[in-house]
Structure 1
Amino acid sequence: MVLILYKKNTITKRLENLSYDHFENFNGLEINLCKDEINTIEKYYESLADKGFKQNKTEYDKKKKLIELNNLGYCYQFGIGKNKDEFKAFECYLKSAEEGNSSAQNNLGYCYQNGIGIIKNENKSFEWYLKAADKENINAQYNLGICYQNGIGTNKDDKKALEYYIKSAKGEYPIAQNLLGNYYQNGIGMEKDLEQSIYWYEKAAENGNKFAQYNLAKIYVNGENGIERDENKAFKYYKKSANQEYLDAQFELGYCYDVGIGFLNKMKAFELYEIAAKKEHKIAQHNLGNLYKKMFDSKEAIYWYTKAAENGYKIAQYDLAYCYKRGIGVAKDKVKAFQYYKKSADNDYLKAQFELGYCYDVGIGTEINKIKAFELYEVAAKKGHTIAQYKLGALYEDGKNLEKAFYWYNKAAEKRFSVAQYNLGRCYKRGKGVKKDENKAFEYYKKSADQGYLNAQFKLGYCYSKGIGTEINKTKAFELYKIAVEKGCKTALYNLGECYELGNGVNKDPVKAFECFKKSAGNGNVYSKFQLGYFYVNGIGTVVNKEKGFELYNEAAGSNIQVDFIENVEELVNDLDKVNYWYHKAAENNNGLALYKLGEFHELGMGVYENKVRAFEFYKKSADQGFIDAQYKLGYFYEKGIGTDIDIARAFELYRIAAEGGNVDAQKSLAYLYEQDEGTDKNIENAVYWYKKVVEDVQEKLDALLNNLNLINMSNYPGQNILIEYLKEQGSKSSYCGFLKFSSKFITALISPTDTCDRLDTIWFYHFLWEAKSLFNQETYVVIKNKENY
């Protein structure tokens, strides 16, 4: 859409859905039109066109004629009062521009740049912008800055671009002022200077620039680098920008009304969210859905959540998944819930990553996949998701990696997550992944119990009962057992029955004890069956019934007696490969070999999904521990850019360290880098030295190769005698490095002797040898021949 402004202002395109730090690249065309001229403009310009420009010199002064001709071009271009005709528009601009009108020169530059009425020509576009800019035309100065910045019709020159932006801004061009504010705010081409940024934003805002008004609001709403938060100013600028129909500002103003930034008004918030939502603003769509949900209009809430989700808004995708999972405003659909959790997780939304992990963990809308669950829990846990940290700890415990389990339980417990606190208490009580410490076990059970976690309340009661980490307190034990039973803890029934039976913390009450043991036995508790049988046989709390009592004894005796019924913990089998698990465990102790193996597992996809980045991380950890093979691998990853950016200099340094440690692959790679002048200065002597080291390590393979060369008939291949004689002539393992040096394929063959020797009787292999000989580098050959030791 084109906006016609008053004299000396610009015609600009309205750009919807721009974020606050975007701005228009080209301002468009400049025109001087008064509002009351529009009605009569057609006849006026027809008269002007009919009479011809030169014939009207006497009627109009030159300057006015040029302005009018420029305006006529604009009318032809956009069909204002005349049929649209871009060719005539160009002709008008050209005539006015050639006579020196700077506005027409700017407009002509725009035509050349965009192919309006003429073949596109960026060089001419730049020339006309330059002419107009030299006449202090602020629009052209801005456009010229764009040309220099982007290399349009000229070489890129950020310094000159900035120069022209500053000129245009100082000439009160609001778009340039906004851009300059952005540059100062973000340190583009200059030092960051928020005061200067605000200065230019304010200048642009005063000149009516909606983007600058929005940018100022963003600064004041959050407070930034010493600028105090000012909700009133933020509200004011959002309102000014929104009044100019800037979409993001309409949304933000709605948010201000919604949460009370500057002014609280839910109805206004609703209105503005609706305006922005209908213009496809995805966050506004989501927030509108939230308002409908609060108004108990689930149908409309689902509609707007769906719109926002389809537009890629990750929080809406998450909320929609939750609605499908719970059946809120829509029929329950676990598959759709899974699908939307996945979309949100793929958009890196933390909560969704956890929920998707949970879906894989227990099979919600998909098949159970513990590995994927583990991966997603790990991602979320490392980002600080509390429940994911707990879940990750649980998976590590199931996998018998108790140190890791303890680590993640502790991370979640630090955030006062009651279940994690309980599990941490278990770890301390039994020495799982940490040194046994009953005092700490009691401490964490209490923290969890104080938050109302049922299992912790039972365990805390047990601690008071047995004096674990605290003094024995039968009364507190009884109280906690009773609370646990009332909340549905089946295990606590036995303990409560014991309290009533023995009078621990409460008056003896055999009838209540009998009731507790009966309920507990019905739940399958072996010890309760024994106690209940005893009560029947002896008539305690009930009438004597020896037959029933003996039946319960037999039933209990045939059960699998739990080793520690109080803990009631079942050891689970690890889903991951055992070897991979043990290396993970060893890696926790910074074992270089284990870390290296982890790198291999992730590099090759053994036991886990292939992940080059993670492989790189493990190789790096191992290399940092001084593990030589890992130093070579890390160098290789740096050289090839596997899992990281290419860094030949770093690769060279790692190869050097590993080569000095005796790694043959590293020696070969180091020699190659010396030879190729990569990552270091070219040094043929050093290259030869390291190739010699390679040959020394494969001497036996070389001897076997030479013996086989004598056994095979190569008469059909020209030059074979030269090759064999050359090898024999050099004789020793030292001289052979000259040949190895320029045949990396051949070196690889030697490093894999079994594979090589299996191929010695094939034509392919001898073709290969001859090709390697033909690649021999004469410069190095001379160096080798002139040194007795090589």
Structure 2
Amino acid sequence: MPIPPIRLLKYLLAGAATFAAVAPNTSLAQSTESVISQPNTAPASTFRTDRPSGSTVKPSDGVGVYDRMGAKLPDLPPEKDYKGPIDEAYGAYQRGYYLTAMDKALPRAQLGDPAAQTLIAEILSQGLGVKKDVKNAAFWYGKAAEGGDAAAMFKYALMLMEGEGVPRDKAKADEYMRKAAEAGNPSAEFNWAQIVVADNPGEKGLKLALPFYEKSAEQGIADSQYAVAQLYATLKDLPEEKKQLAREWMARAARAGFDTAQLDLGIWLVNGIGGPKDYVKGFEWLRLAANGGNVAAQNKLAHLYINAIGTPPNPIEAAKWYVLSRRAGLADPSLEDFYLGIEDDQQKAAIEAANKFRRR
């Protein structure tokens, strides 16, 4: 069963330009070499930040629905007949019959079936149809982990790290996280890469972690897609074909709704990082991240509206986004000067728009 990625470690790459926090530019003319930059208030963190709770509607650079109208799509390939064993316990679980799933899985779990043990642990850990029981969930996750179930090893590693249902044991947690990653669990691959980076500071750790980020990214973990994009853009001695894929990986993470990736992709498009400049698409990605509540994107969007980069100039919209980012604690002297220089009625309109803002 799929298990979402969990943020485990704080991370900061010292000395890498892409991760360096620099002050917002005071001038954003389109002729400048670097039109916008990273904000200067972001704390050290993993490759992931909290995602917006709003809509995941996002720009598309593919074929739109109107382009498809009237075009015959290829037929879907025929489904292959499944001839393998049917797991009635998991079938019941997937249909929401949790007590039935428990009844069917328990005899197998008691006989040492790791998959059944993982299912029992999942039901107990979430309290699905039964009273939530973290301690017994940890017991069954532990048994399944001993039996080599990758999902169980990942979940058990998290419980060992947090001391949830079991005594905290970092060494054992790291061992199971590594085993789960080596077994191909995508969330474990991401988290093991984070552990490798933390235990091996600098470029050495990043290079050791990169294969795990790559495997996890291929399986759709947006955190890892973002990490791969940044590492492809900054690590030395990588093959040129990988460096050329940095923007594509950033776009994948952005399309998945990862607001930090949307912010960075917008900056990359405006500044021409990892490919040609595209002010319009850069503006669209920054606006999407800003509407999702990303404060740094709100700050950058104000600059784009002031300087007509990817959008017509709009002092009220610029002031609105500045007011929102300032309220969130992101100071910017150049935007403050702009705001104080506009008309009183424009300031009033901007404040009213900011007051009406809701994350989308």
Above 0.5 in TM-score? yes
Match of 2:294 among 266, 276, 281: 281
Matched AA of 1:21: F
Q: Does 1:207 align with 2:219?
A: yes
**C-alpha separation in 2, matches of 1:159 and 1:15:** 18
Is the 8 Å Cα contact of residues 70 and 93 (structure 1) preserved in structure 2?
Answer: no
Q: Does 1:151 align with 2:177?
A: no
**C-alpha separation in 1, matches of 2:306 and 2:166:** 56
Task: Name the counterpart of 1:641.
Answer: none
Q: Report the secondary structure of 2:244's partner residue.
A: helix
Q: Report the secondary structure of 1:314's partner residue.
A: coil
Match of 2:328 among 304, 311, 324: 311
Task: Name the counterpart of 1:11.
Answer: 2
Gaps in structure 2 of 5+ consecutive residues: 11-44, 51-77, 352-360
Task: Name the counterpart of 1:93.
Answer: 102
Q: Report the secondary structure of 2:130's partner residue.
A: coil
Displacement of 1:324 in angstroms is 3.5
**C-alpha separation in 2, matches of 1:242 and 1:104:** 36
Q: Does 1:269 align with 2:286?
A: no
Matched AA of 2:101: C
1:328-477 → structure 2 map (5 Å cutoff)? none
**C-alpha separation in 2, matches of 1:97 and 1:156:** 27
Gaps in structure 1 of 5+ consecutive residues: 1-9, 25-35, 38-60, 77-87, 337-790
Q: Does 1:235 align with 2:250?
A: no
Matched AA of 1:287: K
Q: Report the secondary structure of 1:204's partner residue.
A: helix
Relative to structure 1, is the Cα distance of residues 143 and 265 closer, same or farther in structure 2, using a 3 angstrom cutoff?
Answer: same
Is the 8 Å Cα contact of residues 211 and 241 (structure 1) preserved in structure 2?
Answer: yes
1:612-691 → structure 2 map (5 Å cutoff)? none
Relative to structure 1, is the Cα distance of residues 178 and 282 closer, same or farther in structure 2, using a 3 angstrom cutoff?
Answer: same
What's the CA shift string for 1:437-477, capped at 9, x where partnerless? Answer: xxxxxxxxxxxxxxxxxxxxxxxxxxxxxxxxxxxxxxxxx
Task: Name the counterpart of 1:301.
Answer: 318
Task: Name the counterpart of 1:164.
Answer: 176
What's the CA shift string for 1:592-614, capped at 9, x where partnerless? Answer: xxxxxxxxxxxxxxxxxxxxxxx
Q: Does 1:69 align with 2:69?
A: no
**C-alpha separation in 1, matches of 2:263 and 2:143:** 41
Task: Name the counterpart of 1:133.
Answer: 145
Is the 8 Å Cα contact of residues 73 and 92 (structure 1) preserved in structure 2?
Answer: yes
**C-alpha separation in 2, matches of 1:199 and 1:222:** 15
1:529-548 → structure 2 map (5 Å cutoff)? none
Displacement of 1:325 in angstroms is 2.8
Displacement of 1:108 in angstroms is 2.5
**C-alpha separation in 2, matches of 1:271 and 1:64:** 48
Between the two proteins, the alignment pairs up a number of residues equal to 273
What's the CA shift string for 1:45-87, capped at 9, x where partnerless? Answer: xxxxxxxxxxxxxxxx9x945x2322222321xxxxxxxxxxx
**C-alpha separation in 1, matches of 2:230 and 2:219:** 18
Task: Name the counterpart of 1:142.
Answer: 154
Is the 8 Å Cα contact of residues 214 and 224 (structure 2) preserved in structure 1?
Answer: yes
Is the 8 Å Cα contact of residues 129 and 144 (structure 1) preserved in structure 2?
Answer: yes
1:732-747 → structure 2 map (5 Å cutoff)? none
Displacement of 1:216 in angstroms is 1.8
Matched AA of 2:104: K
Relative to structure 1, is the Cα distance of residues 319 and 109 closer, same or farther in structure 2, using a 3 angstrom cutoff?
Answer: farther
Relative to structure 1, is the Cα distance of residues 322 and 107 closer, same or farther in structure 2, using a 3 angstrom cutoff?
Answer: farther
Name the structure where helix makes up a greater proportion of residues. Answer: 1
Task: Name the counterpart of 2:70.
Answer: none
Displacement of 1:256 in angstroms is 0.8
1:567-606 → structure 2 map (5 Å cutoff)? none
Task: Name the counterpart of 1:122.
Answer: 134
Relative to structure 1, is the Cα distance of residues 231 and 195 closer, same or farther in structure 2, using a 3 angstrom cutoff?
Answer: closer
Is the 8 Å Cα contact of residues 123 and 153 (structure 1) preserved in structure 2?
Answer: yes
Relative to structure 1, is the Cα distance of residues 207 and 314 closer, same or farther in structure 2, using a 3 angstrom cutoff?
Answer: same
**C-alpha separation in 2, matches of 1:261 and 1:122:** 47
Displacement of 1:165 in angstroms is 0.6
Larger Rg: 1
Q: Report the secondary structure of 2:167's partner residue.
A: coil
Matched AA of 1:220: Y
Matched AA of 1:266: Y
Displacement of 1:122 in angstroms is 2.0
Is the 8 Å Cα contact of residues 326 and 332 (structure 1) preserved in structure 2?
Answer: no
TM-score, with length taken from structure 2: 0.66
Is the 8 Å Cα contact of residues 49 and 260 (structure 2) preserved in structure 1?
Answer: no
Is the 8 Å Cα contact of residues 148 and 157 (structure 1) preserved in structure 2?
Answer: yes
Task: Name the counterpart of 1:21.
Answer: 47
Task: Name the counterpart of 1:400.
Answer: none
Displacement of 1:113 in angstroms is 2.5
Displacement of 1:157 in angstroms is 0.9
Is the 8 Å Cα contact of residues 233 and 274 (structure 2) preserved in structure 1?
Answer: no
Displacement of 1:227 in angstroms is 6.6
Task: Name the counterpart of 2:27.
Answer: none
Relative to structure 1, is the Cα distance of residues 309 and 138 closer, same or farther in structure 2, using a 3 angstrom cutoff?
Answer: same
Task: Name the counterpart of 1:325.
Answer: 340
**C-alpha separation in 2, matches of 1:273 and 1:332:** 22
Task: Name the counterpart of 1:413.
Answer: none
Matched AA of 1:99: R
Q: Report the secondary structure of 1:309's partner residue.
A: helix
What's the CA shift string for 1:2-25, capped at 9, x where partnerless? Answer: xxxxxxxx4244899x9643499x
Relative to structure 1, is the Cα distance of residues 289 and 144 closer, same or farther in structure 2, using a 3 angstrom cutoff?
Answer: same
